[in-house]
Amino acid sequence: MFRIVTNSSLNSTFKARVVPQASHLNFTTTTSSANSSTTSAAVAAHAAKNFNFNSKRFNSPYQNNNNNNNNNSNNNNNHSNNNHSNNNNNNNNNNHSNNNNNNNQVSYNTQNHNNNNNRNNRSNRKKFYNNSSNNNNNFNNFIPNGRDNPWFHQLVAFEESVSQSSKASRFNSAFDPIFWNSIGKAMSLYRELSGTPDFGAERVSKLVYLLHTGLRQNRSQTLRLDKKPDFDSKSFHKDMSDFLCTSLREVSNDIIDNKISINEYGAMHLITSFKELVLYEEAISIWFSSRNSNSSSVFLDPRVVGVVLPIMYENGHSFENINKLFEQSKATIDYYHPNLAVGMIRTCLLANEINQALRLFEELCANAQQKRFGYLTETHLSFIGESNDLNVANTFFEKALNDEMPYKVDLQAPYIKKFMSNTWSQTKDFDKVLNIWIKCWGNYGINVNKGVSSSINDLFLSIFFENYANDSNIGFLKLKDIIRIYNNIKPVDEPFLNIIMTKCAIWDDSSIIESINDAYQIYGAEKTVVAYRVYLKTLGHSNVSEDHIFNAWNSLLQFADLTGATFIHNADWAALRDATIASKDYSKSRIETYCKIIKLYSVYCRDLRQFNMITEVNGTKHPGILPYLHNLNSLDVFGIKIPNFTNFKQLSS
Asked whether residue 307 falls in the same domain as residue 355, the answer is yes
Asked, for residue 51, whether it belongs to a domain, the answer is: no
Q: b/e map of 122-153 (b: 16 or more CB within 10 Å)?
A: eeeeeebbebbebeeeebeeebeeeeebebbe
Asked whether residue 252 falls in the same domain as residue 289, the answer is yes
Report the C-alpha gap between 95 and 517 in whole angstroms. Answer: 61
Asked whether residue 439 falls in the same domain as residue 561, the answer is no
Each residue of 487-513: pLDDT tens digit? 999 999 999 999 999 999 999 999 999
pLDDT of amino acid 336: 87
Asked, for residue 421, whether it belongs to a domain, the answer is: no
The answer to whether the bond into 20 is cis (omega within 30° of 0) is yes
Does the pTM surpass 0.85? The reply is no
Asked whether residue 552 falls in the same domain as residue 643, the answer is yes
Domain-ending residue, one of 355, 375, 410: 410
Asked whether residue 640 falls in the same domain as residue 535, the answer is yes
For residues 157 and 6, the model is more confident at: 157
Asked whether residue 156 falls in the same domain as residue 289, the answer is yes
pLDDT of amino acid 126: 38
Model confidence at 145: pLDDT above 70: no
Asked whether residue 640 falls in the same domain as residue 549, the answer is yes
Model confidence at 449: pLDDT above 50: yes
Asked, for residue 238, whether it belongs to a domain, the answer is: yes
Asked whether residue 477 falls in the same domain as residue 584, the answer is no
Q: Name the residue range of residue 599's domain.
A: 527-652
Asked whether residue 378 falls in the same domain as residue 254, the answer is no
Mean pLDDT of 427-449: 94
Angle at 412 between CA 408 and CA 416, to 5 degrees: 115
How many domains would you assign to the chain? 4
Model confidence at 12: pLDDT above 50: no
Asked whether residue 390 falls in the same domain as residue 442, the answer is no
Q: Would you place residue 293 in the very low, low, confident or very high pLDDT band (cuts 50, 70, 90)?
A: very high
Q: Which amino acid is at 607?
A: D
Q: Which range has the worst mean pLDDT, 102-116, 311-325, 409-423, 612-626?
A: 102-116
pLDDT of amino acid 223: 61
Report the C-alpha gap between 161 and 159 in whole angstroms. Answer: 5
pLDDT of amino acid 152: 82
Model confidence at 463: pLDDT above 90: yes
Asked whether residue 282 falls in the same domain as residue 157, the answer is yes
Each residue of 60-113: pLDDT tens digit? 222 233 333 333 333 333 333 333 333 333 333 334 334 433 333 333 333 333
Domain-ending residue, one of 368, 384, 410: 410
Model confidence at 48: pLDDT above 50: no
**Helices 570-579 & 588-601 angle (0-180, nearest 10):** 160
pLDDT of amino acid 162: 84
Q: Would you place residue 447 in the very low, low, confident or very high pLDDT band (cuts 50, 70, 90)?
A: confident
Asked, for residue 168, whether it belongs to a domain, the answer is: yes
Asked whether residue 505 falls in the same domain as residue 534, the answer is no
Asked, for residue 622, whether it belongs to a domain, the answer is: yes
pLDDT of amino acid 352: 95
Report the C-alpha gap between 374 and 366 in whole angstroms. Answer: 14
Mean pLDDT of 203-223: 87
Each residue of 323-364: pLDDT tens digit? 999 999 999 999 889 999 999 999 999 999 999 999 999 999
Q: What is the DSSP letter of 105?
A: S
Q: Which range has the worst mean pLDDT, 130-134, 148-152, 524-528?
A: 130-134
List of E strands, 414-570 = none
Domain-ending residue, one of 470, 493, 526: 526
Report the C-alpha gap between 359 and 10 in whole angstroms. Answer: 12
